[in-house]
Each structure stands twice: as structure tokens, then as C-alpha cells.
Amino acid sequence: MGKTSNEVKQRYNEGHYVQLKVSVSPQIATAFKAKCDENGVSMAGVLSQYMAIYSGTAAKSSLPFIKTKTRPDRRESVKTLSAKLEQIRDAEEAYRDNIPANLQSSPNFDAADDTVAALTDALDLLDDAY
């Protein structure tokens, strides 16, 4: 009698994967599961990709768990990206604005100012494209 599909899959997984136990708050677990369900991706796939990126072992820095098959999916991904870029820009802007007046010609101020300008330009381009 042959092995069932589940037995074959289990044997393969045992030979090719390591299980990790992660403890998180129920709120985080519920929100994470809901977001994965919303995007039609597996929780293990998302965690594996983040772990590969974080550890520097990812083959590429793309995030395959973001759905991009259709134009509406891409548009939604751009909205998500834009929101994150806005947060980064706002944080950099707050940093720049809190630099004392006597240091506003410093390299740190100039770098922050250039970053804010570049992020603003990128956000404008994304807004124009989508």
C-alpha cells in the first residue's frame, strides 16, 4: 500500500524545513492572520520571506507576498508603499525641523533636507503614476 499524499508531504517537509515556535500577543496573531488572509498568502510564507530579508539570505529584496497580479492589486501596493514613504518622510522632516538653528548648515541637516525633498519627489511621482 502506497503512502498518502499527507505522509509524503510531511516526510518532505521534515527533510527540508525547520519548525520554529513563535510567541506573540493574541492581538498581533489575529491581526497578522487577518492580513495574510486578506492578501491570500500563507503566514509561514510571509515570515519566511521576512526572515530571509532580515538575515541577508534572500535571493532578492522583492516581497512576493504582496499581490501584484492585477492593476488594482498593484495600485493597492503603491498606496501601501506611499503610506510607508510618507511616514518615513514625516519622521525625517521632524528630525530636520528639530535640528537647532546653529546647526542648520551642518551635513546632518543637509542630508535630512535632501532626504525629505527626495521622498517628496518620489511620492509625487507615485501619485502621478497611480
pLDDT in tens, 93-121: 999 999 999 998 899 999 999 999 999 99
Full domain range(s) for residue 61 = 1-65
Q: What is the 3-state secondary structure (H, E, C) of the chain?
A: CCCCHHHHHHHHHHHHCCCCCCCCCHHHHHHHHHHHHHHCCCHHHHHHHHHHHHHCCCCCCCCCCCCCCCHHHHHHHHHHHHHHHHHHHHHHHHHHHCCCHHHCCCHHHHHHHHHHHHHHHHHHHHHHHC
Domain count, the chain: 2
pLDDT in tens, 9-44: 888 888 888 888 889 899 999 999 998 888 788 888
35 shares a domain with 75 = no
Last-in-domain residue among 41, 65, 89: 65
Average predicted confidence (pLDDT) for the chain: 84
pLDDT in tens, 51-94: 887 787 766 545 555 556 678 877 888 888 899 999 999 999 99
- Cβ count near 74 (within 10 Å): 15
